[in-house]
């Protein structure tokens, strides 16, 4: 499962850099992705990534961190699928329309830090 940790690390680093450098374009791509794709299909991706993170955590120096991320991703997938009190639509609207460009860049920085940390923790 090292391959998954390498892949997700590079994906986080790449996505983080993309969010920092191309903030407007990344926002537009996220709008198209989240508005045109069925939420039940989207809910599968964080759930699968969460399970894979949980499984591959034993190949990391800080497995507790990856297990927490995995559990959070599975919960995110479940919330998107169940959509209690129309929460998915409210969060999507907030994420796509209310966040400033500085917040998108901050999220990019966080993704780069997490991706780099996970990459450095692989055994």
pLDDT at 62: 94
Report, as an integer, the average pLDDT of 53-72.
Answer: 96
Distance CA 116, CA 44 (A): 25
pLDDT digits (tens, 9 = 90+) for 76-104: 999 999 999 999 889 999 999 999 999 99
Residues contacting 100, CB < 8 A, separation 6+: none
pLDDT at 52: 97
Tokens of 14: 């790449």
- What dihedral angle (degrees, nearest 10) is formed by the CA atoms of 50, 56, 59, 64? 30
Helix (H) / strand (E) element for 71: namely: helix 63-82
Closest CA to 45 of 8, 9, 15: 8
pLDDT digits (tens, 9 = 90+) for 11-32: 999 999 999 999 999 999 999 9
**Global confidence as pTM:** 0.90
């Amino acid at each position: 499962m090292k391959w998954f940790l390498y892949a997700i690390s590079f994906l986080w680093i790449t996505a983080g850099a993309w969010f920092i450098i191309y903030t407007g374009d990344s926002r537009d791509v996220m709008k198209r992705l989240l508005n045109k794709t069925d939420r039940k299909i989207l809910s599968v991706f964080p759930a699968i990534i969460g399970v894979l993170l949980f499984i591959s955590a034993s190949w990391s120096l800080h497995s507790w961190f990856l297990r927490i991320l995995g559990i959070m991703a599975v919960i995110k997938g479940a919330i998107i699928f169940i959509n209690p009190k129309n929460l998915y639509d409210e969060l999507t609207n907030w994420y796509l329309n209310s966040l400033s460009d500085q917040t998108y860049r901050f999220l990019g920085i966080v993704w780069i830090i997490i991706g780099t940390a996970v990459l450095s923790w692989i055994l």
